[in-house]
Every structure is written in structure tokens, then in C-alpha cells.
Structure 1
């Protein structure tokens, strides 16, 4: 047991580590959200389908069913099922990689580069590869210092931010709600970049997404192992 004189120093050191773990985690979230927004914008502009925004594809699916459009219904069902499969594969790869971000992000980079290489005459296989990659991306970071974060969807982030704002207006001073704007901002900035890239390169712009995924994987090597374990799904 620590002497009473040393307890404040130990507590301060613990708080300092927690602060830096949070900052590093949020910087990683920002980078991954840029990747998600960039990839979603490229895929949407090139094919008309969302790559990571499954809420949008779900609404489109409902409209297609109501219109009796069997072809579009089947296509959107395939996209949603592929995204679910990607999330499952993300957890599997994360576990096989001993919950390190690098193997997961390298797999994502490989999928995105493969999508960029696919012949432009048929975009569906490239689209499916990108959707699997975005599903897998959600296994890279699940929470930061106990705060849940979403990487490929921002409705939840905006909802948590709005609820936090409401509590703040009522005089409550809970921490954490402001950081929910980080994934939203990252995805917005990434989508702008992706849209500009797609205008110049088309579906080939997924090369940039693949390179960014690889770079983020290399950057993750600088993150302490115990911090990565706290970020990724258990």
C-alpha cells in the first residue's frame, strides 16, 4: 500500500496517462473517420450507393420495396448484408491479430486497393470490397476512455452530442459529449476530400483510401499496446 504522501502523485500520474490515452484515441478516431468519409463519398459518387452509411441504404431499400423494384431491392439487401459481414470479419481479424490495429488496417488497405484496381466496367465487386472494408473499420476503435465512438456512421455521434448539449443547458456538467463532434467532423472533411478525388479519378480514388488506411496502420504502431486493447472491441 502506498504511503499517504505518495497517493496524490500516483493519482496525478494515472490521470495524466488517462488524459493522453484519450487524446491519442481521439486523434486515431479523427483519422479513421476521415478515411470512412472519404471512402463513402468516393463510392457514392461513383456508383450511387453508400459504402458506409447503411442508414441511407436502409431507407433506399424500404423505398425500393414499396416501389416494387426487385432489382434495386436485391442490390441494396446485398450491400447491407455485406456491411454486416464486414463488421463480423473486423472482429475476427482483430482477435486473430491479438487486438492490434495494424493487421486490421492492412487488411482494409488491401481491400480498398483491390477495389481501386477492379475494371471500371463493373463497379459492384469493387463496391462490395469497399463495403467490407468499411464494416471492418468499426473494429479499429470502439470506445475511448469509456466513451462510445462510431467511425463509419455519425448519427449516433450527433445524437449523443445533442443529448449532452441538452444536459449542459440544464446545468449538468458531464464530460465527454463535446468529443462526439470529432468523428462527425472527420467524416465530413473526409467526404469533401473524397468527392474532390472522385471527380478527378473516379473509382480509382479508392487508391488514396487504401494508402491512408495503411498509413494509419503504421501510425498505430506508436500507440502503446495497452491503449490499443482499451480502444478495440473485446
Structure 2
């Protein structure tokens, strides 16, 4: 995290908030399944297998598979565009979110939810470095571990504030989740359009900044 500038950390926290927002909508729409938190779906897969609830297991496995496909698409776009040109991955995510929202609005709920999962998988390629995830944006278990490790380092003479950027990522996801639940309860799946619009704006702003930085 220390290799990232403040502007990049702010972008990462914002994208984590979008992930939390979308995940809360997906959780409420899908009745307890997640569109970005695959650890939860993996647990539901295991429980479904153990209890013989094959519908649960099948749904969880399908969501996990789609997330992996989305992560693959995001990684391929990042490689093709150049990993420093994040606007391309953001544009992919915005297009997928808008497509998913549109399909759900037209009555194709399962297909739309699947496309939203693809978008969440793709988001993790925004900070891809050398083909690997630089910052995880849609899952926070590892981030919470890093917060604890940085606090331990601070208590033993290390950097006192190294834990703060990781805390910002977690806080973004948590606040985004609260906002997404509120939006879903008020507007239903139409709330997904706000996430698609925000990512589209971020994609355009990032593309403009990339062009401005070119010699």
C-alpha cells in the first residue's frame, strides 16, 4: 500500500465502496447470496453440499464461477491496455454494471445478476500489477489482517499510520454496503444504475488524467 499515492488510495477506497454498495443490493436481491464476496458464497456452497441443499450449492457455485470469469476478463483488459491505464478496466466494469442493471430491469433477473457478478470480478484488475492483484477491492478479510499487522508494527516502533489506508478500504466497503442496502430498500434494483454511472464517471476521469500525463 505504501507504493500507492494518496489519489490512488482514494480511488481504491471509492471502488471498495462501490463493491459494498453493489454487494448489499445483490445480497438483498438474491436472498443471502453475494455478488462480490466469494468467501461467503464458498461457505454457502459447502453448507449446501453438506445439507443436501443442491439449489444452494448450485447457485453458490455458479456465482463463484462467474466471478472468476469476470476477474479473468478484467485481467485480460488490463494486460491489453497496459496495467497503468486503469480507465479501460473501469469502462469494462461500468458497461457490465449497466448491462446487468438493464437486464434486471427488463425482467431477466438471473442473467442480470450474473453480469453484475462479472463486473465485480473485473473490478479487482483496476490495480493489477505484473498480472497480479495489487489491491483487493471487493474482499476485506486480508485487509483486516493487514490492519492488525500494521497496528502491531506501530506498537513496536514502526510506522504509526501505515494501517490507515487499509482501514479506509474497509470503511469504504462497509459504508458502501450500508448505502447500497438503503438504496435497494428505497428504489430496488434501479439503485444499480447509480453504481454504473459512478464507475463510468471514474473511467472518464481516469482516462482524461492518463491523457494529460502523456508526453
- Normalising by structure 1, report the TM-score: 0.80
1:154-193 paired onto structure 2 within 5 Å: 154-173=140-159, 176-193=162-179
Residue 174 of structure 1 deviates from its aligned partner by: 7.0
1:1-234 paired onto structure 2 within 5 Å: 22-48=5-31, 49-99=33-83, 100-119=85-104, 121-142=107-128, 148-173=134-159, 176-224=162-210
Residue 122 of structure 1 deviates from its aligned partner by: 4.4
With 126-135 and 196-205 compared, the bigger mean Cα shift is at 196-205
Equivalent pairs, count: 206
Residue 67 of structure 1 deviates from its aligned partner by: 0.5
Q: State whether residues 78 and 128 of structure 2, in contact with CA within 8 Å, keep that contact through their aligned partners in structure 1.
A: no
Distance 1:107 1:131, change over 3 A: same
Unaligned segments of structure 2, at least 5 residues: none
Q: Which secondary structure state, in structure 1, belongs to the residue aligned with residue 5 of structure 2?
A: helix
Distance 1:193 1:175, change over 3 A: closer
Residue 129 of structure 1 deviates from its aligned partner by: 0.5
Whole-angstrom CA distance in 2 between matches of 1:193 and 1:71 = 29
Q: Which runs of 4+ in 1 moved over 6 A?
A: none
Q: What are the superposed Cα offsets for residues 69-92 of structure 1, whole Å, 9 maximum, x if unpaired? A: 112211111111111111111010
Q: State whether residues 112 and 130 of structure 1, in contact with CA within 8 Å, keep that contact through their aligned partners in structure 2.
A: yes
Unaligned segments of structure 1, at least 5 residues: 1-18, 228-234
Residue 119 of structure 1 deviates from its aligned partner by: 4.1
Residue 32 of structure 1 deviates from its aligned partner by: 0.9
- Normalising by structure 2, report the TM-score: 0.87
Q: State whether residues 149 and 183 of structure 1, in contact with CA within 8 Å, keep that contact through their aligned partners in structure 2.
A: no
Q: Which secondary structure state, in structure 2, belongs to the residue aligned with residue 221 of structure 1?
A: helix
Distance 1:83 1:166, change over 3 A: same
Q: State whether residues 31 and 216 of structure 1, in contact with CA within 8 Å, keep that contact through their aligned partners in structure 2.
A: no
